Structure 1
Amino acid sequence: MAEKNPTICIIDDNPVDREVFRRYLLQDTRYHYQFYEEETGEEGIALCRRVQPDCILLDYTLPDINGLEFLAGLVDSSGSIPFAVIMLAGMGDESIALQAMKSGAQDYLVKNEMTPGNLFRAIHNAIERSTMRRTLEKHQQDLEQKNQEIQAFAYALAHDLRAPLRAITGFSQIVAQDYKDALDADGRHYVDNIVDACTQMDRLIDDLLSYTRIEHRAIHYKPVALGYLVQQIIENMAERINQAQALITVAEDLPMVYGDTTLINQIFVNLIDNALVYRKPDDQTRLSLSWYQDGDFAVVRLADNGIGIAPKHYERIFNLFQRLHGDELYPGTGIGLAIVKKATDLLGGHVWVESTPGEGSTFFVKLPMNIS
């Protein structure tokens, strides 16, 4: 629903034309308008920023600037014009109309051809679009605030769970090690389950903290040598890779990309870890990293010969806490690939997967290149 008393800014140096616009609009039975007027472009821009009107009636020819320069002066920090603007001119000029629409005007009217009817239609459309935009902006602000609150809550919750979890883990390990002879088989089994559950919970908290930290840390962009970074990751994960008896091959010409080292590290750590988890038990695990250039972006491919993913799950696996298998088959928290997607999005990139169930998966990570 639009406001009952929309605000109109009339920016025109001709007092006769301004009077005509007011007289026309006073005939409108849908709205009761509030009018503000200025005769020059610079004063008109200041007025619009102060009043925040629902619609601007803008004369193309002003004493100090033209209508296109006026539109440029309205552009906000997001690069858009936050007001609905109807450009007015003394004669029909298709080139000016096209330029005005490209520059952010919502409509274009010729003064000599104007009637109350076509002015009403233009302003009604402008008001409806302005109201819809403000509603969407308000919803977006509310959603962002709620997301921030949820992330802050998740971070605080994960942090506060640390202390009691350490106590449970410590005491259960003491029972498992020092009192196992006093327990029967069922008792030892139960204690072992507690220890395993504590380990799983500890990993879940680690992954949740990693995910929430992404939103709370500053991003530092710089050139990143992807080949060197991947080799460092492989060295740091050597024990994990050896346990899985995995063979990893890396292209020697991995490119320089432009991004945040920590975020890029998280992307490939989690992708490699994912491949090591979802491997086929009877085959040697093989991973390969290669890449190709797509314009100003590098697309890195990480291919494995694991269990694969059905096409219907391609999008789902990147959602938080989404898992396709039980923990008894493939341990995990359902956060690793969500971290990959979040980090890639923050870097202005994209991640997707192609897979054949039973044969393996290829993850693609598209990142900006460091092009000098």
Structure 2
Amino acid sequence: MNFLLSQDNLIKTLDNSNTFYFVLNQNLQLLYINKSAKETILKTEEDANEITLYDIFSVSNKILIDTHIIPLLEIRGAFEEVAVEIKTKTGNLIPSVLNGKKMALKENFYVYVLSASKFSQRKLYEKELIFQKNRAEDLVKKLEDLNSRLEKITYSLIHDFKAPVNNIIGLIDLIDIDNNISIDELSYYLDLIKKSAYNLNLMIRDVLNQKINKSISKSVVNLNEIIEKVLKLMTIKITESQAKIEVSKLPIVYGDPSLLIRVFQNLIDNAIKFKKINERPEIKIFAEYSDSFANIYIQDNGQGIEEEELLNIFKFGGRARNTSDIEGSGIGLNFCKSALEEMGGELKVDSLIGEGSKFFFNLPLVE
């Protein structure tokens, strides 16, 4: 009984386990039994010197020992997951799962090491394994969602960076081809280039500060000033398209100024982009009021959107079928919707094919 007791740490670990552990010699006599098994199976300490493997299990398991357990240990050196019944000192039977391994301690001397887990305990292990598996799958899903979100942010940023860059390129081209440009016109164009570059710099700063899609900076915002900045930034696009834009007096709201600039840019850009063929874009921007919120409208006379596609256009990459031949990524409206929701608002649309669209969103009013 004492040949393993020199390995104090191992014995301590086994004794503290709820699993039953047995070590037997080649004659199937018990050399070691851990504390939990001893308390359950043995009536007295002396029993440990007298019982064999056959005494530990039920009568029905004795045939199993000779036909299955011992042959597997001798031939394969191990076995796994054998259902047995362990006999307690009170005569009760405990349904258990038995595992075993043949271990050589020195030349021509080996022992059998067996472990038995109660079915009830095994169920707890299985429950824990299922819990950990579900937890791991949940973490994987969260990582996939995070990766997808980062991908969307990247596409959204590329999409929005294009507007000020294209504006700068367009203004430079305009200066380059106009040989008769006056000093006043040159100064005006350079001022627009400076504003576009400044807007691009603000967007880059927001990214570096992890402001976009993480935490917005709400403040008091005069939407009239926002629209004025947006229209200046979009001068080239508005001029080239000959768009007519009417802006009514807009309210002062709570929101993020830099995000609102991008929202208006996207909505006005879409109103110009998806115009009717050979027809001048006409855009009206106005507000209506409801309780403590302002409803902001961007209405156009463009192609319009089919009713069944109205929800799809707000999805990432979603586009209406009648706009497939027009350049675009399908991420601008998705950004607008997400940005407005972060500010406590909601983006919606009413549209009729051939008559145009009316996008509108609400934001909290400054009292």
TM-score by length of 2: 0.46
Larger radius of gyration: 2
The structure that is strand-richer by fraction is 2
